[in-house]
Amino acid sequence: MDFEPYRGELVAYCYRMLGSFHEAEDLVQETMLRAWKARDRYDGTRASVRTWLYRIATNVCLTALEGRARRPLPSGLGAPSADPEAPLTPALDVPWLQPFPDARFDTEVRTDLRLALVAAMQFLPPRQRAVLVLREVLEFSAAEVAEQLGTTAAAVNSTLQRARAALADEGGVDEVTEPDDAGVRAVVQRYLRAFESADVPALVRLLTDEAVLEMPPVPLWYRSSRDYGLFMDRVFRMRGTGWGTRYLTANGQPALAAYAPEPGGRHRLHTLQVLTVTGGRVTRNVVFADPRVFDAFDLPREISSEEFHRPR
């Protein structure tokens, strides 16, 4: 019995549940181990291998989530800052939401992984989270989900209604344009050029008026093109100009790896930035500085200017 073809989609499922890519990988490994040990008890007349694996993965995730705090983004913890010079003190005790490295998985796996949606889902109780993903994203039937959760189809439908209502209350989960859209690529190209040349006015022109900038593990965040620009001016004053970037995608969204200039012409990895582009403007930038995030994306810590690249 071969479980490997399901690994990628199970990692995406566990990521939606936990908000952590590293934990998702660990939980899928646990799922595979449990499935292998129980393979002789699998009954193909009751469920497909895929449905059976999701039942095991769901139980693994729900157990892992017992007593756990949700994984937030800074915008989920408090009001935005109005001080572009505020101290950049990381909150290392917060289990921050992590991005998902698209390049390691098939395109189909990345459906509905956008950061705002995964962040909003963290507000749901774990069982509501599971029902929402299994029914809405993975399109299992109510009967299949009931089997996976050991409940009834009626209870699943009731839980789904509550999850939908709660998610609607959170807001901020509108559809975003795909990163391979020509208009999005053009916006990202302009953003990367402005960023590399430390051109703050050009960056601001690419933002919506209410653009959000957040920087886990720093709990500080900003909401407005003005404050976004003032903070970026601070960054370039602190770290200099002549930055480099690498284009990639994360959570089915355009992203960039930002490399700060170093003496001798080299550039050192500074942040991974996940952009939300809607209507030809950047509406949100989530900037990650956690080295574990860099590891998940296989990003080199230092590169030369010849190694920069942009979306085509």
Domain ranges in the chain?
A: 1-67+114-174, 182-307
In angstroms and rounded to an integer, the radius of gyration of the C-alpha atoms of the chain is 21
Q: Among 76-90, 101-115, 249-263, name the one with the lowest average pLDDT.
A: 101-115
pLDDT tops 70 at residue 172? no
DSSP bridge partners of 268: 260, 302
pLDDT at res. 175: 53
- Domain covering 182-307, topology: Nuclear Transport Factor 2; Chain: A, (3.10.450)
220-259 tens-digit pLDDT: 999 999 999 999 999 999 998 899 999 999 999 999 999 9
pLDDT at res. 178: 66
pLDDT at res. 28: 98
The helix (run of H) or strand (run of E) holding residue 222 is strand 218-223
pLDDT at res. 308: 75
Q: How far apart are CA 293 and CA 271, in angstroms?
A: 9
Check if the beta carbon of residue 98 is closer than 8 Å to that of residue 290: yes
pLDDT at res. 298: 92
pLDDT at res. 156: 96
Global pTM reads 0.92
Q: How far apart are CA 1 and CA 112, in angstroms?
A: 29
Check if the beta carbon of residue 257 is closer than 8 Å to that of residue 308: no
- Stretch 160-167: mean pLDDT: 91
User: Percent of the chain at pLDDT above 70?
Assistant: 96
Task: Give whichever of 20-24, 136-140, 307-311 has the largest mean pLDDT.
Answer: 20-24
Counting Cβ atoms within 10 Å, is residue 173 exposed (0-12), middle (13-18) or buried (19+)? middle
- Domain covering 1-67+114-174, topology: Butyryl-CoA Dehydrogenase, subunit A; domain 3 (1.20.140)
Q: How far apart are CA 140 and CA 120, in angstroms?
A: 21
Q: How far apart are CA 198 and CA 187, in angstroms?
A: 16
Q: Which of 233, 245, 249, 133 is nearest to 185 (CA)?
A: 249
pLDDT at res. 181: 86
pLDDT at res. 109: 78
Compute the mean pLDDT over every residue in the chain, rounded to the nearest whole number.
92
CA distance to 6, 36, 122, 123, 130, per residue, from 135 (Å) = 18, 26, 17, 18, 8
The helix (run of H) or strand (run of E) holding residue 220 is strand 218-223
Structure token digits, residue 107: 């395109």
pLDDT at res. 307: 72
Q: Could you give the dihedral angle defined by the CA atoms of residues 150, 30, 101 and 112, in that order, rounded to the nearest 10 degrees?
A: 0
pLDDT at res. 306: 73
